[in-house]
Amino acid sequence: MPRSVASPTPGRDSNRTVGSEYSGPAAAPGDTPAPPDPALVTAADTAVAAAADELIALSHDIHAEPELAFEEVRSVAKTLAPLRRRGFEIECPVAGLDTAFTATYGSGELMVGICAEYDALPEIGHACGHNIIAAAAVGAGLGLAEVADACGITVRVFGTPAEESGGGKVLMLERGVFDGAAMAMMVHPGPYDIVGARSLALADLSIVFHGREAHASAAPEQGRNAGDAVTVAQVALGLLRQHLNPGQQLHGIVKTGGAAPNIVPGHAELLYYLRAVDSASLDDLVRRASACFEAGALATGCTHEVRTLAPTYAELTPDPALLCAYREQIVGMGRVPLAPDLEAARPLGSTDMGNLTHVIPGIHPVIGIDAGGAVTHQPEFAAACVTPSADVAITDGATALARTAIGVAGDQSHRNRLLERSSRRQEDIR
């Protein structure tokens, strides 16, 4: 997930997606599922605790060998190892993606999906803490496997590559990998605990300008400067910022701008992220930003093309009942999450988990680690992701997710709601 805002200390003393889109649960936000069965909680907690050393080692091993989007070969092998030993049925690759997988245990009618991420960032490695996400997902899977039969659930851990850039979950969703899942959950590390974490819709764009090379001194009039087109476009974008709607953002870099000072650049490229509070606002921002890109080309006599580099990310729409259940669990574990009225003021970048929550009831809470004042996408946060605080977040996150699933699966009203929603989606797909 892209960079979050600064924070206080963490609180702890596609085609297949069209039709019947998930627009929120029937349950009221305060409708918390009944407390989970204590015996089942104890069994799941014990399984997570027994695997704690292995989960921490997994997190540290992934952190030590960061891999970029769609290249997470070693990370996938490490993530699958403890699931395979526990007897999960492994399918890898899936969805035509070499580093995507499913790991399934049990045969109950209610499928509980747990999402693992494991891709890193260029140059700064696991500065978004996906090593923690992967380990917590495995831990939740192991905990739920211990009680799968008693809960009447199927546990499926989804290995989802390329969250930082590439939209692995979107591709997996469109290609049917999430068919049958009644819920989808994960935890993401951050500087503090947020239950109802918000995210922004995102468009990942490449803007290429084509000009004509010429000698910058002997015959500049023969050139058409693609680097100047970049400059004009970025000035226009900068002026546009004053008039953006609340929640709209744009930020980018110059990927290429020329080869040598004495050659008029005939090629230049911008990489830009456009973000907004929801997909409709994002569409508006893309339209307005596209005019700025066009202005750069028009002013310099160049041509240009805009390409979408990855699936567009939708904003998170978390399931209120799952949020309530998760909040109850982490508070009971001694964590102090942000108050609900403060959550809405703290969007945390963008994630392809947003697309999933528009189709399947799901949650994407943030679990706090002590990052010493650092925020995600900083080298200091990467260093914090293998500290004792981060290790505690792994087991706490795994435990909270498992308890949440146990509670919802055991509450007949919410169980029926999730099963009905899943059944309707299967009918739409067929």
- For 319-375, the three-class secondary structure string (H helix, E strand, C coil) is CHHHHHHHHHHHHHCCECCCCHHHHCCCECCCCCHHHHHCCCCEECCEEECCCCCCC
Phi, psi of 238 (to 5 degrees): -60, -40
3-state secondary structure of 208: strand
**For residues 279 and 315, what is the distance between their CA atoms, to the nearest angstrom?**
7
Tokens of 61: 């091993």
Position 159 scores a pLDDT of 98
Question: What is the torsional sign of CA 392, 397, 398, 402?
Answer: positive
CB neighbours of residue 43 within 10 Å? 17
Which run of H or of E encompasses 22?
none
Rounded to two decimals, the pTM is 0.92
Position 17 scores a pLDDT of 33
CA 393 vs CA 32, 50, 72, 197, 244: distances in Å: 23, 16, 22, 16, 37
Position 9 scores a pLDDT of 37
Judge contact between 66 and 128, C-beta under 8 A.
Answer: no
**Cα Rg of the chain (Å, integer):** 23
Which run of H or of E encompasses 91?
strand 89-91
Indicate the residue type of 396.
D
Residue-by-residue DSSP string for 93-151: SBTTBTT-EEEEE---SEEEEEEE----BTTTBSTT-HHHHHHHHHHHHHHHHTTHHHH
Beta strands 181-185 and 110-116, pairing class: parallel
* Most distant pair of Cα atoms in the chain: their distance: 83
Position 344 scores a pLDDT of 76
Position 10 scores a pLDDT of 41
Per-block average pLDDT, block size 10, for the chain (430 residues)?
38 36 43 91 98 98 98 98 98 98 98 98 98 99 98 98 98 98 98 94 98 98 98 98 96 97 98 97 98 98 98 97 96 95 81 98 98 96 98 98 98 96 90
Length reported for the chain? 430
Beta strands 366-368 and 188-190, pairing class: parallel
Position 5 scores a pLDDT of 33
Position 347 scores a pLDDT of 65
Position 348 scores a pLDDT of 72
Residue-by-residue DSSP string for 277-327: SSHHHHHHHHHHHHHHHHHHHHHHT-EEEEEE-SPPBPPP---HHHHHHHH
Position 343 scores a pLDDT of 87
**For residues 103 and 125, what is the distance between their CA atoms, to the nearest angstrom?**
26
Phi, psi of 271 (to 5 degrees): -115, 125
